[in-house]
C-alpha cells in the first residue's frame, strides 16, 4: 500500500443495474492535506467513483482503505462517521428548512425527543464560519437563497461534522468566477489545516488553480495521476479527451442583418407572485448570436419557456414583425422558431420512442399521406438523413433513443430542430452534460449557422461557452438584464461581477 495515504481506493469497478459499466478498475490515492483534482469528461465516472467512496453506492468490486484500514461503507452515514463527506451536484438540502436546521439535521445535539439545541449548534457553526471564511445566513429557508449560498450551507454542513475528506462534485458549475475564487481559497485553507479535498471538475483551468495533485479519468479508467505543478493544461486536456481535437471553428467577420426577435418589457410571472423575468428588452438579429449568461436559476428557464409559448407572459414580443402575444407553442414554432431545450430528457426527447419517431416530433405534416397516415418509409429515410448529416452514432433509425449517449441524443434534437428551417434558434444549455467532442461539434455548428445568417439566442450557465460563441452577451440576474456587452467589451471579471448582482455605475 502507498504510505502516507488518507484514502486509498484500489481496483474499483462499477456496473450499474442497467448494465452500464461506469468504472473499470480505478485506483485513487488521496493524501492528508491535499486538494486532489478529479478531472474527466462528462460520463467519465467521476460522480460514480465519489459516490462509492462516500458510501452512497456499493462498488461492484475493488477495495477501499481509509487511514490504512480496509472499509466497506454501506451508507453515507457510515462514511460520514468515519470522516468522509460529499457535497453532491444536486444539493442535498431540505428546502423549507433554514441553514441552521439543515446543518443540525442528524446532529441535533441531544436525544431524539429532546429539543434541537439551536443555541449551541449556532455557536459552533459561527465558529466554523469564522475559521473557514465561508459565510451563510442561518435563519432563512435555504430554498430562498441563491445557489452559490446554498452550496456554502452544504459545505458548512460537512465541516460541522468535522470531515477529514471533503468531496465536492463540480462545485463551480453554479458559481460566478468570483465565487469560484472564494471557494478555492476556502479549499486551500482546509488543506492548510491538514484536511483533504477531492475536487471534481471537467475544467482544466480550475485544476491548475486549486489542486495539488490530479487524477484524470477517462471512460471509467484512470489515465494518469500527476502533481499539478509541472503539468500543462495541454497535457491534461490530451489525457482527459484521449484524442486531438481539431481547432475550434473561426468565426467569420459578419455584420448582423435584420432584426428577427424583439422583446420589450418582457415579464414572466414566477412562483409566489414574484416575477421570474422582469421587464427585459432585447433583440436578436440575423447572423448574430446573443448569449445570455448568468448563474442558473436567475430567470433564464422562464424566459425561454415563455418565448416558446409554454408560459404566460406580459409585455411585447415579436418574431419577424409578428406579435407573439396569445400564440401557443405550435403556432410560434411555425413562425420560424426552433428550440433546443435545456432538459433533453424531459422536454426534447421521448426516451421510449425510437430515433425516427423522435426525429419527427412536432413536425408530422410533411410525413402524412392524404388520409393522415404516417408514411413510415419517408420517416425512416428522413431519420437516416439526420443520422448521416449530424454524425449521430446509432445502430439505425429504429433504436430507442434511451440507448444513445448524451451527445448523440443532443445531435438528434439539434438535427430535428434545424430541419424545421428556423429563422430563430433558441439554444438553452445546448452542451450541458456532453463530452468534449460532442460539445465541440455543437458549438461549431452554432457558429456555422450564425455565419450562414441564422439568428441565435444562446442561454448558458457556462460562461466560457457564452464568451466563445456570442456576438453580444446579456447577463441575467434575478430576472433582469444586469448589462449587455458587445464582443469588444468581453471581460470575464466584469461579467462575473454582473452575474453576482454587482451593478455597473451609470
Partner 1 sequence: MIILLQVLPVALRAMVPVTLCAVGEITGERAGVVNIGLEGIMTLSAFAAAIGSWATGNPWIGALCGMGAGAIVGLLHGFISVYLRGDQIISGVGINLLGMGAVGFGTWALWGAKSPMLDKKFWIPEVPGLGISPFVLMTPLLVVLTWWLLHRTALGLRIRAVGENPVAADVVGVPVEGVRLLAVVFGGALGGLAGAFLSLDWLHTVSPTLPAGRGFIALANVVFSKLNPFLALLGGFLFGYFDALAIQLASVAGFGGGIPYQFVRMIPYIATLAVVALAIGRARFPKALGQPYRRE
The answer to whether the CB of 48 falls within 8 A of the CB of 211 is no
| CA-wise closest residue to 30 among 11, 14, 53 | 53
Burial class from Cβ neighbours inside 10 Å (0-12, 13-18, 19+) for residue 470 reads buried
Candidate list 34, 36, 46, 66; residue touching ligand ADP; CB under 6 A: 46
The nearest distance, CB 202 to Mg ion, in angstroms, is 8
Q: Which of partner 1, Mg ion, ligand ADP, none is residue 40 near (CB under 5 to 8 Å by kind)?
A: ligand ADP
Residue 116 to residue 106: CA distance in whole angstroms: 10
Q: Which is nearer to partner 1, 97 or 490 (CB)?
A: 97
Question: Considering only 5-13, 45-53, 236-244, 377-385, which stretch makes contact with ligand ADP by CB under 6 A?
Answer: 45-53
Q: Residue 468: phi, psi to the nearest 5?
A: -70, -40
Question: Considering only 40-48, 179-187, 388-396, 471-479, which stretch makes contact with ligand ADP by CB under 6 A?
Answer: 40-48
Q: Which helix (H) or strand (E) holds 465?
A: helix 463-469
Question: Considering only 95-103, 308-316, 349-357, 394-402, which stretch makes contact with partner 1 by CB under 8 A?
Answer: 95-103
Candidate list 29, 38, 39, 104; residue touching partner 1; CB under 8 A: 104
Question: Considering only 17-25, 178-186, 205-213, 390-398, which stretch makes contact with ligand ADP by CB under 6 A?
Answer: 17-25
Does residue 59 interact with ligand ADP by CB under 6 A?
Answer: no
CB neighbours of 314 closer than 8 A, spacing ≥ 6? 265, 266, 267
Candidate list 29, 44, 175, 183; residue touching ligand ADP; CB under 6 A: 44
Residue 400 CB neighbour total at 10 angstroms: 14
Packed helices 177-192 and 492-499: angle between N→C axes, nearest 10 degrees: 90
Candidate list 23, 35, 80, 476; residue touching partner 1; CB under 8 A: 80
| CA-wise closest residue to 311 among 332, 336, 340 | 332
Question: Considering only 15-23, 233-241, 339-347, 437-445, which stretch makes contact with ligand ADP by CB under 6 A?
Answer: 15-23
Does residue 16 interact with ligand ADP by CB under 6 A?
Answer: yes
Q: Residue 253: phi, psi to the nearest 5?
A: -70, 130
Grouping H, G, I as helix, E, B as strand and the rest as coil, residue 97 is coil
The nearest distance, CB 114 to partner 1, in angstroms, is 6
Does residue 139 interact with partner 1 by CB under 8 A?
Answer: no
Question: Considering only 98-106, 319-327, 387-395, 478-486, which stretch makes contact with partner 1 by CB under 8 A?
Answer: 98-106
**Cα dihedral: 48, 49, 54, 60 (round 10):** 80
Point out which residues pair with 227 in neighbouring strands: 213
Does residue 75 interact with partner 1 by CB under 8 A?
Answer: yes
Q: How far is CA 208 from the centre of its chain?
A: 20
Candidate list 43, 171, 256, 483; residue touching ligand ADP; CB under 6 A: 43
Contacts with partner 1, 31-70, as mask; x by CB under 8 A: --------------------x----xx-------------
Between the alpha carbon of residue 187 and those of residues 134, 197, 312, 482, the distances in Å are 10, 7, 43, 30
The nearest distance, CB 58 to ligand ADP, in angstroms, is 13
Does residue 42 interact with ligand ADP by CB under 6 A?
Answer: yes
Does residue 97 interact with partner 1 by CB under 8 A?
Answer: yes
Looking only at the bridges linking them, the beta strands covering 472-477 and 480-486 are: antiparallel
Residue 69 CB neighbour total at 10 angstroms: 8
Candidate list 13, 71, 116, 347; residue touching partner 1; CB under 8 A: 116
Residue 179 to residue 500: CA distance in whole angstroms: 8
Candidate list 31, 65, 122, 161; residue touching partner 1; CB under 8 A: 161
Does residue 94 interact with partner 1 by CB under 8 A?
Answer: yes
Q: Which is nearer to partner 1, 39 or 57 (CB)?
A: 57
| CA-wise closest residue to 433 among 459, 462, 456, 391 | 462
Candidate list 6, 22, 40, 102; residue touching partner 1; CB under 8 A: 102
Which spans of this chain sit near partner 1 (rule: CB under 8 A)?
Answer: 51, 56-57, 75-77, 80-81, 86, 88, 91-97, 101-102, 104-116, 157, 161
Residues that bind ligand ADP (CB under 6 A): 16, 18, 20, 22, 40, 42-48
Amino acid at each position: 500500500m502507498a504510505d502516507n495515504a488518507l484514502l486509498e481506493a484500489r481496483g474499483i469497478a462499477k456496473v450499474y443495474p442497467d448494465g452500464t459499466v461506469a468504472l473499470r478498475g480505478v485506483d485513487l490515492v488521496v493524501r492528508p492535506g491535499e486538494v486532489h483534482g478529479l478531472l474527466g469528461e462528462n460520463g467519465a465516472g467521476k460522480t460514480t467513483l465519489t459516490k462509492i467512496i462516500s458510501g452512497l453506492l456499493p462498488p461492484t468490486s475493488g477495495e477501499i482503505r481509509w487511514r490504512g484500514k480496509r472499509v466497506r461503507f454501506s451508507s453515507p452515514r457510515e462514511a460520514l462517521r468515519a470522516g468522509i463527506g460529499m457535497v453532491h451536484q444536486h444539493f442535498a438540502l431540505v428546502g423549507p428548512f433554514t441553514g441552521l436546521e439543515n446543518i443540525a439535521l442528524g446532529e441535533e445535539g441531544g436525544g431524539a425527543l429532546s429539543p434541537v439545541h439551536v443555541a449551541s449548534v449556532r455557536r459552533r457553526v459561527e465558529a466554523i464560519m469564522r475559521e473557514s471564511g465561508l459565510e451563510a445566513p442561518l435563519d432563512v429557508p435555504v430554498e430562498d437563497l441563491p445557489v452559490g449560498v446554498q452550496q456554502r450551507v452544504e459545505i458548512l454542513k460537512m465541516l460541522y461534522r468535522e470531515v477529514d475528506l471533503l468531496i465536492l462534485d463540480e462545485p463551480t458549475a453554479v458559481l460566478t468566477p468570483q465565487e469560484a475564487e472564494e471557494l478555492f481559497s476556502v479549499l486551500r485553507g482546509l488543506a492548510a489545516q491538514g484536511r483533504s479535498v477531492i475536487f471534481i471538475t471537467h475544467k482544466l483551468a480550475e485544476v491548475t488553480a486549486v489542486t495539488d495533485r490530479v487524477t484524470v479519468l477517462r471512460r471509467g479508467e484512470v489515465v494518469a495521476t500527476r502533481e499539478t505543478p509541472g503539468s500543462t493544461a495541454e497535457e491534461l486536456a490530451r489525457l482527459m479527451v484521449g484524442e486531438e481535437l481539431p481547432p475550434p471553428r473561426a468565426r467569420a467577420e459578419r455584420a448582423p442583418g435584420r432584426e428577427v426577435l424583439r422583446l420589450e418589457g418582457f415579464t414572466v410571472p414566477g412562483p409566489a407572485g414574484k416575477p421570474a423575468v422582469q421587464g427585459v428588452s432585447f433583440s436578436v438579429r440575423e447572423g448574430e448570436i446573443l448569449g445570455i449568461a448568468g448563474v442558473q436559476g436567475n430567470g433564464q428557464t422562464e424566459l425561454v419557456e415563455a418565448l416558446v409559448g409554454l408560459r404566460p407572459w406580459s409585455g411585447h414580443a415579436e418574431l419577424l414583425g409578428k406579435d407573439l402575444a396569445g400564440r401557443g407553442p405550435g403556432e410560434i414554432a411555425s413562425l420560424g422558431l426552433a428550440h433546443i431545450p435545456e432538459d433533453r430528457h424531459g422536454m426534447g426527447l421521448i426516451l421510449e420512442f425510437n430515433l425516427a419517431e423522435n426525429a419527427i416530433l412536432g413536425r408530422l405534416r410533411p410525413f402524412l399521406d392524404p388520409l393522415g397516415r404516417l408514411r413510415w418509409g419517408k420517416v425512416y429515410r428522413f431519420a437516416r438523413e439526420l443520422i448521416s448529416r449530424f454524425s449521430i452514432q446509432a445502430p439505425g433509425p429504429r433504436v430507442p433513443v434511451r440507448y444513445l449517449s448524451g451527445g448523440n441524443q443532443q445531435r438528434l434534437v439539434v438535427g430535428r430542430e434545424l430541419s424545421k428551417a428556423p429563422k430563430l434558434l433558441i439554444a438553452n444549455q445546448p452542451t450541458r452534460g456532453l463530452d468534449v467532442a460532442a460539445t465541440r461539434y455543437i458549438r461549431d455548428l452554432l457558429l456555422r449557422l450564425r455565419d450562414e445568417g441564422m439568428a441565435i439566442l444562446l442561454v448558458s450557465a457556462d460562461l466560457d461557452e457564452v464568451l466563445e460563441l456570442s456576438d453580444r452577451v446579456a447577463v441575467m440576474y434575478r430576472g433582469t438584464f444586469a448589462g449587455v456587452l458587445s464582443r469588444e467589451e468581453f471581460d470575464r471579471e466584469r461579467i462575473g461581477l454582473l452575474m453576482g448582482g454587482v451593478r455597473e455605475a451609470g
